[in-house]
Amino acid sequence: MYEIAAKEALASVTKRLVIKAPEVAYKAKAGQFVIVRAIEEGERIPLTIADHDPEEGTVTIVFQEVGKTTKLLGTLEVGDRLASLTGPLGNPTEIKRYGNVVCVGGGVGIACIYPIVRALKEAGNYVISIIGARTKELLIWEGRMRSVSDELIICTDDGSYGRKALVTEPLKELMEERAEEIDRVWAVGPAIMMKFCSLTTKPFKVKTIASLNPIMVDGTGMCGSCRVEVGGETKFTCVDGPEFDGHLVNWDLLMARQRIYLEEERRALELFEGARRG
């Protein structure tokens, strides 16, 4: 169980792992996530299911190596086993035929939104996808996104590929030109990106769904670490989400809570990298 069946470097800091987890693969749906531990003594971290294959019994996760645990995951090779993989967790995306939808993915969020885009396309929607990254080198899964989108808009912050723009710029243009034709928007990526996507669509009253990414521990609603404020009420992302109406999310509170353990995370990473060098 939880053996790594395939590994791929999508970018210098971005890895894809395909993991043998038949029961999870059989039940997984778009929008759900898993909680993994790389080693027995390791922390539990949530990662969105980027793909799954019930016939092969595998699930795919994509992550950037930014902290101790993701860097540790990045050291695992084909044939290694994770200590645990729990899921599928969270509520799946509400997939139905809405009409015209826009899906915005930023950074690793491109891989996270891919199964949502695919499911929406299979349900008969006209899908406009906007994907963005800081540079061309960090842009992932363009081919996959193009294969399930009717229109694909590519942005990079530095203009090294596609359009030099933040993803909110083409989103705003779509709202100004075609808001009456667009039935729903999804946004998956860094919290700051999802916040400004939601602010962009709010004046046009186009419902916008964001997949939140707070600190999370158990994934079953018991620890309370993933609490967020939505519409003035406290919600637990793991059991009430991870998707919420972006127009109702208290984004500033979410981002403040994401920064709670920055110092501890920095120290853990320094110790990990020091041990690897020593």
Q: What pLDDT is recorded for position 277? A: 79
Report the distance separating Cα 76 and Cα 46, nearest Å.
17
Same domain, 31 and 61: yes
In a domain? residue 278: no
Same domain, 84 and 104: no
Pairing of strands 126-133, 100-106: parallel
Same domain, 183 and 206: yes
Which residues does the chain have with pLDDT short of 70? none
Same domain, 135 and 213: yes
Q: What pLDDT is recorded for position 276? A: 83
Q: How far is CA 8 from CA 18, 43, 50, 56, 135, in A?
A: 9, 23, 14, 18, 19
Same domain, 120 and 76: no
Same domain, 53 and 104: no
Q: What pLDDT is recorded for position 126? A: 98
Same domain, 49 and 156: no
Structurally, the chain folds into a number of domains equal to: 2
Tokens representing 55 are 């016939």
Same domain, 253 and 164: yes
Q: What pLDDT is recorded for position 275? A: 83
Query: Which residue range forms the structural domain that includes residue 61?
Result: 4-89
In a domain? residue 238: yes
CATH number at residue 37: 2.40.30.10
Q: Which of 89, 116, 137 is the last residue of a domain?
A: 89
The answer to pTM > 0.85 is: yes
Same domain, 155 and 133: yes
Q: What pLDDT is recorded for position 214? A: 93
224-256 confidence digits (pLDDT tens): 999 999 999 999 999 999 999 999 999 999 999
| Cβ atoms 174, 102 nearer than 8 A | yes
Q: What pLDDT is recorded for position 1? A: 83
Same domain, 18 and 119: no
Same domain, 161 and 42: no
Q: Which of 27, 60, 89 is the last residue of a domain?
A: 89
Q: Which of 56, 89, 122 is the last residue of a domain?
A: 89
CATH number at residue 140: 3.40.50.80
